[in-house]
Chains A and B, each alone.
Chain A
C-alpha cells in the first residue's frame, strides 16, 4: 500500500480511505507489469483514419474529456498485449511507448477495488443526488475525476465496457485510463490536466486494420457490442481477388476485373501495399 497523505480527505471515514489505498499499487506489483511486450511498455489507441497524417511522425495523444468515457478525464489506451482489442474506435492504430515506473495504479478489474470505489462514492456528500439525478453521466464523470485526483491515481485498469465483435475479450482484456497531471512539487496537490498527453508523447501511426465497426451509440452513450462491417460480409464470399491499390489505379483492365468479380459472385479487395 502506498499513500498520498492527502490532507483534504477529512470528510471520509478512515477505513474507506484505507480500503481504496489497499487497492492502489505501484507498477511492479500491478497487473500492468504482466502486460508488457518483450519486457517493454507499449500501448495502442485506434482513431479515425483522418488522423493518419497527423501521426505520421511521433506526436502526443490527446487527453479525452468526454463525460461518456468510463473513468473521467484521461487518455484511454490499451496495452499492446491486446493489439486489436479497441479496434472498434478506428482503422488507424497509434502506438506509443510509455514509462509507468512511478505510477500509482488502481486495478478496477478486481472486484475488491470496485467495491472500495463504491464505498467511497457512497460516502460522498452528493451520493443521494447521484442516484436520483438525470445528470448522472456528468456526475459520474466529475466524481471519477475527483476520486483519481484525491488518491493521485496515475492509471486505472478496467475491463472493456464496449466490445468489438471477435476482437475484444471482455473477460480477459484490460484497458487503461491514464492521468496527466498539472506540474506541482507537492505530489498530493497535483490536478488532472487536459490537452496533450505527456504520458504518451511519442505516438505514431503503426497499425492499419481492414475493418470498420458499427459503433452503436444511444444518446451518445456506447452500446456494448460493435459488429464488424466488412469481414462479416467478405467471410461469406468464397472467392476474392486482391489487387494492390497502386496497380489498380493504372490497370486498364480494372473494369473487366470488377465485372468478372461481379459476374462470378466474388469480390475485389484493393489493398494498400505494406
Chain B
C-alpha cells in the first residue's frame, strides 16, 4: 500500500466505521474533504484505487466507502480483487455491492436463452460477463469428495430412495450456501445482466441444483403475490408456473 492510501485508509476508516460514532465519522468526512480540495489529491487517490490488489488494504467499512466512491466516479477496480472480496464476505448486501460495482460499465444486450436449454454446454461458462461467470462457477463448484455417486441415477429413481439412502444422500449433498447467497446478491442488484445471471444460476445443472431451487422457493414464498408473479415470469425457474 502506498503512503497516500495508507494515510487515507485511516481517514476512511474513522469516517465510515460506525463504531467510532457519528461525531467522529462526520469529523473525518470533513477532514477528507479538506484533503480532497488539495490540488492533485483526488486524482492520485483515484490512481491508487485503480491499482489496488490486496483485499486486506481496508476494513469492511473502508471497502464499503470505497465502493461508493468508485461507483460514483466510474473507477474500475481490479477483477481479481473484487472476486477475492466477494468470496471473503458473507453478507449478501456487500456481495451485491461488489457485483454492482463489477458490472456497472458492462455493455449488455439481453439475449434470450433458448429453450430447451443446452445440456452439453455450460451456460455459466459462456455467460457474457466474466466476473459474473467466475462467481457463479465458484458458487456451484463441488469438490470431488462431496460429489454424490447417485447423481448418475435418473431423478425418478432418486425419488424412490429408502430413508437410509436419503439420509446418506443428505450427508453427501454439496453445500449450496455460496450459490444461495450469490443468487440473492444477483437478484438484489436487479439489473438486466444480473437478473439474467440469476436465471442461468437457477438453470445450471450441478449436484446442488435441487437444493438451490428449494431455497429459491422459500424466498418466493415470502413475497407478496404480485412480486412473486413478476419473479416467476422474469426468471422462468424450472418447475414453476405462474399461478
Residues of chain A at the chain B interface (Cβ within 8 Å): 8-16, 47-48, 50-51, 54, 60, 62-69, 73, 89-90, 119, 122-130, 133, 135, 137-139, 141-143, 145, 182, 191-196, 215, 217, 219-222
Contacts and interface: CB of A to CB of B under 8 A. Distances in A.
B72 interface: yes
A44 to B, nearest CB: 15
Of B92, B93, B96, B224, most buried by chain A (CB within 10 Å of CB) is B93
Contact of B230 (A13, A127, A192): A13
A63 to B, nearest CB: 8
Contacts of A133: 91, 93
A51 B30 contact: yes
Contact of A16 (B23, B222, B226): B226
Contacts of B227: 11-13, 16, 123
Given A11-B231, A54-B34, A139 B91 contact: yes
Given A8-B192, A13-B225, A125-B184, 18 more contacts: A11-B187, A11-B231, A15-B226, A48-B23, A65-B25, A65-B68, A66-B16, A66-B18, A68-B22, A123-B223, A125-B187, A130-B93, A138-B93, A142-B64, A142-B96, A191-B71, A194-B72, A220-B25
A53 to B, nearest CB: 11
B81 interface: no
A4 to B, nearest CB: 15
Contacts of A13: 224-227, 229-230
B33 A62 contact: yes
Nearest to A162: B22
Contacts of A191: 71-72
B92 to A, nearest CB: 5
B18 A54 contact: no
Contacts of B61: 67
A90 to B, nearest CB: 8
A18 to B, nearest CB: 10
Contacts of B229: 13
Interface of B: 15-23, 25-27, 29-30, 32-34, 36, 60-61, 64-65, 68-69, 71-73, 91-94, 96-97, 184-185, 187-188, 190-192, 195, 219, 222-227, 229-231, 234
B219 A128 contact: yes
Given A66-B18, A128-B219, A73 B93 contact: no
A232 to B, nearest CB: 20
B22 A220 contact: yes
B68 A192 contact: yes
Contacts of A64: 25-26, 29
Nearest to B61: A67
Contacts of B29: 62-66
A67 B26 contact: no
A139 B90 CA distance: 12
A9 to B, nearest CB: 8
A54 B30 contact: yes
Contacts of A219: 18-19
A48 B187 CA distance: 41
A51 B28 CA distance: 11
A158 B94 CA distance: 26
A195 B93 contact: no
